Structure 1
Amino acid sequence: MSESSTRPVIAVGIGEVCTLAGAHEALRALLPKRTAPASEWEHFYRQSSRVYAAVAEVDKAHHHEALGYWSNRTREIADEISRTGQVPTFRFEF
């Protein structure tokens, strides 16, 4: 079931979202295990970046936060993993 019958929805691995809060919840459920390989983490962060960019287009109240912060931040983390082969040691909070 979607969060809203009037807004477009974005499919995210385990369901559909149409708000920034919904994206956070869906992506939290897709977090890799801490011991997962760097490639799995990179995929997760790239997927997250795409989800946040899509949500920015439908959740207009959170457009700048979803696109300007979350999409960019998760893409930068994925790029760092790609460059170094290492997963950052910080805890990323949604």
Structure 2
Amino acid sequence: MGTAKFIFAGAAAIGMLASSAFADDLTGMVTRIDRLNNTISIQQTQTGTVGGGAGGAGALEVYKAKDAAMLDAVHAGDRVNYTATDADGTSTLTKLQKQ
């Protein structure tokens, strides 16, 4: 019984560490801002080694701003650092900072 608890506790700890890895800052370029709906489109910058992939830009994502004031500091074409969460199928920006 004690071994099973130990294994489940270890699995839970690994799961928590893995989920925090997805909270890392991402980088990208703002392509569109919709202030009426509090949404922003960001073209994610690809990461990895040079020549390690097909090249080109990363995925274009649309995010809901956690706070409408976040969108006031950026404009289309700006390069940004951001953090987002995905809850109930909605991607929400939790941090947005102009580079």
Q: What TM-score do you get using the length of structure 2 for normalisation?
A: 0.25
Higher strand share: 2
Higher helix share: 1
